[in-house]
Structure 1
C-alpha cells in the first residue's frame, strides 16, 4: 500500500520490519504491498482478511498487522511497504497552507467517525438504541422514550425569539423562564423521573452522538447530565464526565508546581516562601513514609536515620519481589494454557475491600512487596539527603544547595512526585467528556457544561461519591485500611483537535460583572504540546484484542492484569506490549503526533498552592445557580439575538440526533421518519 508522503511529514515516517518468517513476509506483501492508491473499502477488506486467521503462531502476527494497518490507514496515516518493511507516517496537524482551523477539525473529526460508525453498527449498540427509543409506559402511567429528552429546536427558537422583543429590563427574568440549567449526577440504580430510563443509559445514549466512539475507562468516572428545568420533560442540554486524571502530564504538573523546574522558578521569584515550602516538603516525606507498611522492610532506627546501605537493601528487595512475581505470572499462564481455558487476569490473593479485609496479608502480595520496597527506598533516600542538607534548620541555605546538586535534585523530584500522587488520588479530576446536545449546541451550552463541572454542586457530588471510601491501593501499601477524602480542587482537560477549542476560549466569568459569584471563575490554557502525545484513541477494540494476544504469546504470561496497583492505563500498556511483540517500537504508533492544548480550572482561589501544602484553596466553589445566571447574561442573551443562531436551531432536535445515530456511511437515515 502506498500514499504520497507530504514533504512536511517525511521526517515523521516510521518504519518497522515485523517478526515474520520469509514465507509470511511474502504473504504480507501480497496483502498490502501494492503501489497504487488503495481502493475505497480497503480498510474493511483488511479487517475481513484478518478475521480469517486464528490467534496462534504467525497467523496471529498477520492478523494483528492487518488490523493495525487498517486502523491507521482509516485514521489518515500514510502507510507504505518496501523490502519487507512497513513505514507509517501520522497525519499530523497541518497538511496544507490553505487548510483553515475548521478544515483541520473537520479532517480529524472524519477520521474519528470511521471507528464511531463501526461501533454504531454493532448489534449490541443497535439493541441499546432500540431499547431507549422504544415508547412504553415506564413512569407516570404514560408512554415515554428517550426521544422525549431531546428538545424541539424549532419551538425553543420561537420562545427565545419572543424574548428578543421584550424590553431590556424584562429579558433576564424571561430568559431564566425558558432556560434554567440544573445538574443531575448519574448514579447506578437511579432513573430519570420524566421517562423512567436509567440515568446512566440516558448519558450513554447522548454520548454516542459525539465525534469519536464511546469507550469505558478505568478508574473514577462521574457522569453528569445538564438539563433544562424550564422545559417539558427537562430536556438534556449537555453532558460531562469527570474521570481519574492522567498520572504523568508535564504541562499540568508544571502549571501546578509539581515539577522541580517550576518549583525552583516559584522559589526564586518569591512566589513561594522557602521556609513554608521546606516545612511542606518535610511533612510530605513523613506522611508518605507513614503511609507505607515498613515493619518487614526496615527498623525504626533506619526510618529515623536512613543510610545508603538501607536504601540499597530496599532496592534489592524490590528487584527480588519483581522477579518472583514474573515467575508467578508465568506459572499462572501455563496453568490456563494446559487446561485450554481463556487467559484470565492474575488478581493475586486480594479479593474485595470491606471491613473484614486482612490488609496486612494483602500488603504481602508480591506486587505490593515490590511497590512498598521501591517506595520506601526512594523516600528514605530523599530523607537522608534532606537531613544532610539541614533542610529543617536552614531552609534558605539548604534549598539552593538541593537545586544545584544531583542528589538534591533527585530528592526534590521524589518529594514533588509524592505531592502529585496525593493530589491526583483525590483532589484533581480530568474532564474527559464535556459538551452540548442539539439544539443547545447553538446556544454555547458547551461553555455552560464546562463551567458547571467546576460548581459546588459537582464538588459535593464528587465528595459523596468518592469520599470515605477505602482506597484499595493505599490500603495494600499501608497494610491497614486507608480512607481518603475527595476534596476536588482542580479540573483539567485536553483539546481533541490540537488547534484550540472554541468551547474553552475566553471562558471566564468575573465576579465584579456577575453578582453572586464569590470569585472569578476561569478555564484557561495551561500549556501546549506541539509534538503530540501518546494514546490509543486511533486503535480499535479488535486491534487491541489482537495485540493483547500477541503480548500473551511473547511473554508466556499476562503481565497486564487490570488490577489495582499494577499501573495506570491497562489498555495502553497491553497495546504497547503487543506492538513490541510485533517488532515495532510501540512509541512509533502510540505517539499520535497530533498537538494538544491543555486547559485547567481552579474551583476556588489558591487551589494549586493547596496541592503542595502551602495553604490556600477555599472550601467553597461557585454555585450552579450563580454560574447559570452569569452564563445567561454573558453568552446566552447575546447568542439569541443572532438570527443565524435561531435559524440553525430550527433544524435541530429529535430528527437530527436520531439521524446522527441511525445514518449509514453515506449519511442516509436508516429508519422511517414516522418512527420519531
Structure 2
C-alpha cells in the first residue's frame, strides 16, 4: 500500500476566535451534509442547505461563509464527511479501479462546474443567439450550418468512389475576424463548440491561440474539431525531466560532460540578465552604484533586496486603478510601478550575486575546465542552478506550449477525428501562426527592462494531458512520419507518454467559494494581496485559494488535491530540444518544415488511411454517425446540451446577497 492509498482525514474545525454562533451553525451544516443523500448527478442547491442548517447572513459572517462554501464544494466532489466528538473530519473520494466507473466519476465532477456555467442567463443567451437563423449572403444561416449531418457523412463515405475526398480538413486560426461562409465571428464559433465539452469553458491567462479544424467538403465548411495552443503550466516534473532541462537533470549532464559551449552560455546569461533590467531609478535613488554592475559586492546585493521588500509591501498597498491606468506599452512607467520595482530589484540582486560567485570561474574566457571547477564548488553550483531556473522561466512560455483544448465534434468524432485534430494542432501551419502572432514585445520582460524586449516564439515542444487518468484513446499510438509535415523521412512525430501529473489544483472549487475565501483572507489582514495582475505570479486562483484556506486553518496541501491524476503527453518538434529550449542553441533544428503552411492535405490523407477509413467501414460506427441529424426534431452531438434551469442563479442578484442564505 502506497502513501496515496492510505486513508487520510482532514480536520475542518473553524479557527480559534470564531464566534459561538458561527461554530454552532457550521456543525449544523456538517450534520445536514453528512446525512443528506447527495445525488452526484445534480448540484447541491446551497440556499436550501443553508436554510436546513439554519444559517443566515453569511456575508457578515465571513469565516462561516468561506467554510460553508468550501465544504459544500468538497461534498459535491464526493468527499466523505465524518462527525466525531472532537470535530468534523473530511476524507477525499477514492479513485475507482474500474476505468469506466472512474471516468464517469470525473465527468460528474466536471459537470458540477460546467452545468452552473451553462445555466447562467448570459451563456444561455449566447447559445440561443448562435442557434438563431440570421441572414448572410442572401440566405439564412446559424451555427447549425457548421455541423455536418451524420447520415449524409455516413452515406458519402459508403458510396463515394474516392472516400478520402469526402472529408477535406484544414486549419483555421481563430482571430477577430468572421467566418466568410456564415458571417459568424470566429471566436464565437469556437466558443460555442467548446461549450459541448465535459468541462467548463474558461479563458486562460497568458498566450492563447484557438484553432478550428474545418471541412472544405461541405457547403459552409463544417467544424470537424477544435484546439487551443496556450501558455504552459510552468512546472511539470514529468515534462521537464523528459526534455532534459529540469535543473537536476541538466546539472548532472554538464557535470559528466562540461563543455565550453555551456560555459559561454552561462557567462552570456549573466550579461543578458544585467542588460535586461531597468536601473535608472535604482541609480537615482542611490540604491545601486554604477560600479556595482561591473564589480558586484555583497553590500549592493543586500541594498537591492531591502529595496525589493519595501516595494513589494508598497505594491500590496497601491490601489489597483493606479496600476491599470498605465498605458500598455509605456514600459518605463510600468517598470517604475512598485510591483516591477520589487521584481527588478530582486532579479538584479540575484544576478549580481551570481556574477560575484561565478565570474572567478568564467572570466575572462569561459572554458570547459572553468565550468568543471565551478561545479565542484557548492556555492558556484547553487548559482548555476539559479541561472538554469531563470533561463527556463523565461522560455517556458515562449518555446513550449500546452495543447489545452483538443478534440473532434460529432459526427466526425466517431471516425477518431480527435487524432486528426491532435496532429493538425502541432502542424507547421500552427507553428508558423504562433510565431507570427507572438513576434512582439513580452509584457513582463519589457516591463523589467523599461523598453520593448521580444522573446523567442518558435515552438519546440507542445505538451497536453488526458482528461482521465485511465488513458486517452485520442493520444494513444498517435504518431506519424515526419515527412508528412515536410520533415526527414527517417523521423517520426508522436505524442509521447511522459508520465502522470499530480492531481492538484483548484478545479473542485466554484467561483462563489473562491470569492468567499478571498474575502476572508483580506478581512483577516493577509499581508499578500492577489490582484490577478499579469506579472504578479503564476496561477492567481491557486494562490487565492491557498490564502483563504490558510485563514480557515485548513490544510491546503490536502484540500487542493482534486483526486484526478492525468497522463502527460508531449510532442517533440525539434532535434536539439534541450539546448534550444534553454537558449544554448540560438536556432531550432526542426523535425518538420515550419514553412510548409499548406500541408493539411498530407496530414489528412495519413489520418484517413490510418484511422478514418477503418472506422468508416465498421457498421456500428456508421450507425453512430447517423444518429446526428440536422432535421427536426434536431438531434446532434455537436449541439450544446443545456441543463435545466431549475434554481439557476439570477444575474440581478447583487454580490453581497450571493453570500447570504
TM bucket (normalised to shorter chain) is 0.7 to 0.9
Secondary structure of 2:636's aligned partner:
helix
Report the equivalent of 1:239: 226
Q: What's the CA shift string for 1:215-249, capped at 9, x where partnerless? A: 22222211111011112211111111111112222
Report the equivalent of 1:673: none
Report the equivalent of 1:414: 386
Secondary structure of 1:661's aligned partner:
coil
Using the alignment, how far apart are the partners of 1:22 and 1:527 within structure 2? 48
5+ residue gaps, structure 1: 1-6, 167-173, 333-344, 667-676
For residues 88 and 471 of structure 1, do their structure 2 counterparts lie closer, same or farther at Cα, with a shift above 3 Å needed?
Answer: same
Q: 1:159 aligns with which of 151, 156, 171?
A: 156
- Corresponding position: 1:426 with 2:398: yes
Using the alignment, how far apart are the partners of 1:310 and 1:653 within structure 2? 72
Report the equivalent of 2:477: 506
Q: Determine if contact 1:604/1:617 at 8 Å carries over to the other structure.
A: yes
Q: 1:324 aligns with which of 296, 302, 314?
A: 314
Secondary structure of 1:183's aligned partner:
strand
Q: 1:353 aligns with which of 328, 352, 357?
A: 328
Q: Determine if contact 1:551/1:558 at 8 Å carries over to the other structure.
A: no
Using the alignment, how far apart are the partners of 2:85 and 2:26 within structure 1? 11
Using the alignment, how far apart are the partners of 2:48 and 2:381 within structure 1? 54
Q: Which structure ranks higher in relative contact order (CA pairs < 8 Å, sequence separation ≥ 6)?
A: 2
Give how far 1:348 is off.
2.3
- Corresponding position: 1:626 with 2:626: no
Using the alignment, how far apart are the partners of 2:418 and 2:322 within structure 1? 40
Give how far 1:459 is off.
1.6
Secondary structure of 1:12's aligned partner:
coil
Q: Determine if contact 1:153/1:649 at 8 Å carries over to the other structure.
A: yes
Q: Which moved more, 1:19-28 or 1:656-665?
A: 656-665
Q: Which moved more, 1:44-53 or 1:310-319?
A: 44-53
Q: 2:269 aligns with which of 269, 284, 302?
A: 284
User: What's the TM-score, normalizing by structure 1?
Assistant: 0.85
Q: Determine if contact 1:347/1:563 at 8 Å carries over to the other structure.
A: no
User: What's the TM-score, normalizing by structure 2?
Assistant: 0.87
Give how far 1:284 is off.
1.9
Q: Determine if contact 2:312/2:342 at 8 Å carries over to the other structure.
A: yes
Q: What is the root-mean-square deviation of aligned Cα atoms in Å?
A: 2.8
Report the equivalent of 1:105: 103
Residues 609-648 of structure 1 mapped to structure 2, 5 A cutoff: 609-615=579-585, 617-618=588-589, 620-621=593-594, 623-648=599-624
Report the equivalent of 1:338: none
Report the equivalent of 1:454: 426
Q: Determine if contact 2:30/2:81 at 8 Å carries over to the other structure.
A: no
For residues 372 and 511 of structure 1, do their structure 2 counterparts lie closer, same or farther at Cα, with a shift above 3 Å needed?
Answer: closer
Q: Determine if contact 2:278/2:449 at 8 Å carries over to the other structure.
A: yes
Using the alignment, how far apart are the partners of 2:373 and 2:63 within structure 1? 53
Report the equivalent of 2:572: 602
Give how far 1:367 is off.
1.2
Report the equivalent of 2:251: 264
- Corresponding position: 1:565 with 2:535: yes
Secondary structure of 2:148's aligned partner:
coil
Report the equivalent of 1:588: 558
For residues 8 and 459 of structure 1, do their structure 2 counterparts lie closer, same or farther at Cα, with a shift above 3 Å needed?
Answer: closer
Q: Determine if contact 2:304/2:345 at 8 Å carries over to the other structure.
A: yes
Give how far 1:314 is off.
1.9
Report the equivalent of 2:636: 656
Q: 1:548 aligns with which of 500, 518, 539?
A: 518
Report the equivalent of 1:66: 68
For residues 396 and 465 of structure 1, do their structure 2 counterparts lie closer, same or farther at Cα, with a shift above 3 Å needed?
Answer: closer
Q: Determine if contact 2:118/2:643 at 8 Å carries over to the other structure.
A: no
Aligned length: 621
Using the alignment, how far apart are the partners of 1:146 and 1:634 within structure 2? 30
Residues 177-192 of structure 1 mapped to structure 2, 5 A cutoff: 177-188=165-176, 190-192=177-179
Using the alignment, how far apart are the partners of 1:320 and 1:663 within structure 2? 51
Secondary structure of 2:637's aligned partner:
helix
Report the equivalent of 1:478: 449
Using the alignment, how far apart are the partners of 1:664 and 1:310 within structure 2? 64
Give how far 1:182 is off.
0.7
Report the equivalent of 2:8: 12
For residues 175 and 554 of structure 1, do their structure 2 counterparts lie closer, same or farther at Cα, with a shift above 3 Å needed?
Answer: farther
For residues 665 and 657 of structure 1, do their structure 2 counterparts lie closer, same or farther at Cα, with a shift above 3 Å needed?
Answer: farther
Q: 1:293 aligns with which of 264, 278, 288?
A: 278
